[in-house]
C-alpha cells in the first residue's frame, strides 16, 4: 500500500518537474524579442501585394518599391529576405496577426481601423483616396452630387475605402456603396474603364499607374485629404523590431536613398496625357506584337520593354520613320551614329534596334560611376536625346545650385535651364532644348510602365486560358465524364 502510494507521489513529482521544465523552456522562448526571433531564424518574412508598385517579377528578377525597401531592411538585419506576395489585401493582415509574416510592406495608408489593430511604421509617402470614373460618362464633382444621383460606388471589401465610406455614411446617410471580395482594386478599375461599373475608389498613385494601361480612367473628385502610407507590424509590447524600422526609415530619409527609390518608381507619374496614352495603348495590341521578338533578341543587358518604350518615343514603332533633321528608322538614328554602331540600313528594323541598343550601351558606359546603377539609364536616355555634353552641363548647374548632380530628380529640374541665356551662355556646350529631353525621358518611363502592365495582363490572361483549357480536358477525360457522355448519347437515341 505504502509502496503504491510512494510510486504515485514519485510519478506526480516527476510530472511536475517535467511540467516546470517545459514551462521554463516555453518562458525562455517567449521571452525572446521579435528582432531576436528573426535573427535566430535568419529570415525576414515580408508580406506585400503583387502589383506594379509594390512587387512584381521583372526580366531581371523581383522588383518594386516595397521589394527594394524590404531588401535594404533585411540587409540591415543581416538576414535573408522572404517575400510572401498576395493578390488581395484581405490576405495580408490575417497573416501578420497569425505570425506567418513579420511585416506588411505594401504601400498601405494609416487608416484608423488598421492603427487600432496593428502598429504602423513611419510615413514615407502620401496618397489621397479618389473617386474614379470613365471619361466620356457623367462626372460627379463632389460627394453630394454623387449622392443626389443615387448611383452606386463599388469598393473592395475590408479595404480602407470601405471604412472611409462607412465613416462618411454617418453624416451622409443617403450615400450608396457596395463592397466586393471577388475583385481587387485593379480589377475594379478595369471594370470602370470597360463601362461595367460606374465608379470605384482608388489611391491617387494606384490611379496614376493604372491610367497608363486604361487611359479612359479619370479622377472624379477627392474623397479624402492626403494620407500617410507606412509598413505595418503586430501590435505588441515588444519594441525591438518597431524601433529598428523607425531607425531604418530615418536613415534612408537622411542619406537620400528613400528619395532615390521614390524617384525610380514614382518620379514619372505626375503628368498624364490622355490622347497620347490612349494612342499608345492601342499600339500595344496593333503594333508591338510584330516587333516584340526583335526587341527581345537585341536588348541584351537592357529590359526589352524599356528598349520598346524608347523605340515608341522615337518612331511610334514605325521602321520607316523619317525626320527633316536627317534621323531615320525605328530608333531614329543619325547617319554618323548609325555608322558608329555598324548599321548600314537605318530603315531595316532589326539593324535599327540592334544599333540603337549598341548606341545606348555606349552612352551608359560614359555615365559617371558616382551615379547609382539604376539611375544611369535615365541620364543615358536624356543623352540619347539631347547629347551627353548637355546632360553634363545640367549636372554642373545642379551642383552650382547646391543640388545633387548624381540624382536624376535634381538634374532633370535643371535641364530646362539649358534653354535660358542666363544659364546656357556659361555652360561648356551652350544652348540646348533641355525641356524636350526632360519630357523625352519621362515619356519613356511612362511608356515603359504601360508596357509592363500590358504584358503582365496579357500573360496572366493567357495563363488563365491555359488553365481553364486544361481543366476542360481533364474533365472530359475523367471516367465520370465519359459515363455521363454515354448516358447522354443513350438518352438521345430513339
Residue pLDDT tens, the chain, 494 long: 444 443 443 354 444 344 444 444 444 445 788 899 999 999 999 999 887 788 877 656 788 899 999 999 999 999 999 999 887 777 899 999 999 999 999 988 888 888 888 999 998 888 889 999 999 999 999 999 999 999 999 998 888 899 899 999 999 999 999 999 888 888 899 899 999 999 999 998 888 888 877 888 999 999 988 888 999 999 988 889 999 999 999 999 888 888 888 887 877 666 666 667 778 888 888 899 999 999 999 999 999 999 999 999 999 999 998 876 678 899 999 888 999 999 999 999 999 999 999 999 999 999 999 999 889 999 999 999 888 999 999 999 999 999 999 999 999 999 999 988 888 888 898 888 888 899 899 989 989 988 988 887 777 666 655 555 555 445 545 444 444 433 332 322 22
Closest CA to 93 of 108, 81, 79, 112: 108
Beta bridge partner(s), residue 104: 47, 232
Predicted pLDDT of residue 464: 59
Look at residue 479 in the predicted model and tell me its pLDDT: 46
Residue boundaries of the structural domains of the chain: 36-120+233-266, 129-224, 277-443
- Record the pTM: 0.64
Separation in Å, CA 404 to CA 371, 410, 427, 438: 10, 6, 17, 17
Out of 3.30.300.30, 3.30.70.270, 3.40.190.10, 3.40.50.1370, which CATH number does the structure's domain 36-120+233-266 have?
3.40.190.10
**Residue 45 to residue 233: CA distance in whole angstroms:** 11
Report strand pairing: 227-234 vs 118-120: antiparallel
Distance CA 159, CA 180 (A): 10
Q: Which of 82, 11, 6 is nearest to 43 (CA)?
A: 82
Distance CA 65, CA 106 (A): 9
- 36-120+233-266 and 277-443 share one fold: no
The radius of gyration of the chain from alpha carbons, rounded to an integer in Å, stands at: 29
Q: Is 314 an annotated catalytic residue?
A: yes
The whole-angstrom separation of Cα 85 and Cα 102 is 13
Contact 88, 99 (CB under 8 A): no
CB neighbours of residue 3 within 10 Å: 7
Beta strand 118-120 with 199-203: parallel, antiparallel or unpaired?
unpaired
Of 34, 314, 375, 442, which residue is the catalytic one?
Answer: 314
Domain 129-224: top CATH class = alpha beta
Give pLDDT tens digits for 264-303: 787 766 666 666 777 888 888 889 999 999 999 999 999 9
How many residues make up the chain in this entry? 494
CA 133 to chain centroid, in Å, comes to 22
The domain defined by 277-443 folds into: Lysozyme (1.10.530)
Amino acid at each position: 500500500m505504502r509502496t503504491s502510494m510512494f510510486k504515485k507521489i514519485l510519478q506526480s513529482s516527476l510530472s511536475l518537474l517535467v511540467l516546470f521544465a517545459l514551462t521554463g523552456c516555453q518562458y525562455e522562448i517567449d521571452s525572446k524579442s521579435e528582432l531576436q526571433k528573426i535573427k535566430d531564424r535568419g529570415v525576414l518574412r515580408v508580406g506585400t501585394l503583387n502589383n506594379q508598385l509594390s512587387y512584381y517579377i521583372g526580366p531581371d528578377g523581383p522588383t518594386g518599391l516595397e521589394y527594394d525597401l524590404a531588401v535594404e531592411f533585411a540587409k540591415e538585419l543581416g538576414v535573408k529576405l522572404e517575400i510572401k506576395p498576395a493578390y488581395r489585401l484581405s490576405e495580408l493582415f490575417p497573416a501578420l496577426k497569425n505570425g506567418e509574416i513579420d511585416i506588411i510592406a505594401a504601400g498601405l495608408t494609416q487608416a484608423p481601423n488598421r492603427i487600432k489593430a496593428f502598429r504602423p511604421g513611419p510615413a514615407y509617402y502620401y496618397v489621397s483616396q479618389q473617386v474614379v470614373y470613365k471619361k466620356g460618362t457623367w462626372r460627379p464633382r463632389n460627394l453630394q452630387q454623387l449622392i443626389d444621383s443615387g448611383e452606386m460606388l463599388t469598393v473592395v471589401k475590408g479595404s480602407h475605402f470601405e471604412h472611409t465610406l462607412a465613416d462618411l455614411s454617418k453624416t451622409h446617410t443617403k450615400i450608396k456603396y457596395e463592397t466586393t471580395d471577388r475583385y481587387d482594386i485593379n480589377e475594379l478599375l478595369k471594370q470602370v474603364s470597360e463601362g461595367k461599373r460606374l465608379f470605384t475608389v482608388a489611391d491617387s498613385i494606384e490611379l496614376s499607374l493604372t491610367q497608363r494601361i486604361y487611359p479612359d480612367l479619370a479622377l472624379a473628385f477627392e474623397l479624402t485629404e492626403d494620407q500617410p502610407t507606412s509598413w505595418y507590424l503586430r501590435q505588441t509590447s515588444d519594441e525591438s523590431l518597431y524601433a529598428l524600422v523607425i531607425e531604418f526609415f530615418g536613415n534612408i530619409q537622411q542619406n537620400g536613398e528613400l528619395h532615390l527609390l521614390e524617384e525610380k518608381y514614382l518620379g514619372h507619374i505626375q503628368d498624364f496625357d490622355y490622347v497620347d496614352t490612349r494612342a499608345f495603348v492601342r499600339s500595344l495590341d496593333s503594333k508591338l506584337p510584330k516587333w516584340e521578338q526583335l526587341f527581345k533578341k537585341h536588348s541584351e543587358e537592357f529590359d526589352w520593354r524599356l528598349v520598346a518604350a524608347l523605340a515608341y518615343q522615337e518612331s511610334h514603332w514605325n521602321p520607316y520613320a523619317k525626320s527633316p533633321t536627317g534621323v531615320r528608322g525605328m530608333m531614329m538614328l543619325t547617319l554618323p551614329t548609325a555608322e558608329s554602331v555598324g548599321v548600314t540600313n537605318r530603315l531595316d528594323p532589326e539593324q535599327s534596334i540592334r544599333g540603337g541598343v549598341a548606341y545606348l550601351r555606349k552612352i551608359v558606359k560614359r555615365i559617371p560611376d558616382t551615379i547609382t546603377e539604376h539611375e544611369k539609364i535615365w541620364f543615358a536616355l536624356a543623352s540619347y536625346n539631347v547629347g551627353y555634353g548637355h546632360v553634363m552641363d545640367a549636372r554642373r548647374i545642379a551642383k552650382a545650385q547646391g543640388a545633387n548632380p548624381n540624382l536624376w530628380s535634381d538634374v532633370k529640374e535643371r535641364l530646362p535651364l539649358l534653354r535660358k541665356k542666363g544659364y546656357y551662355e556659361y555652360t561648356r556646350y551652350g544652348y540646348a532644348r533641355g525641356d524636350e529631353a526632360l519630357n523625352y525621358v519621362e515619356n519613356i518611363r511612362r511608356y515603359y510602365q504601360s508596357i509592363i502592365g500590358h504584358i503582365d495582363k496579357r500573360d496572366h490572361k493567357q495563363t488563365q486560358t491555359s488553365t481553364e483549357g486544361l481543366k476542360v480536358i481533364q474533365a472530359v477525360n475523367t471516367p465520370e465524364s465519359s459515363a455521363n457522355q454515354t448516358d447522354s448519347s443513350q438518352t438521345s437515341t430513339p
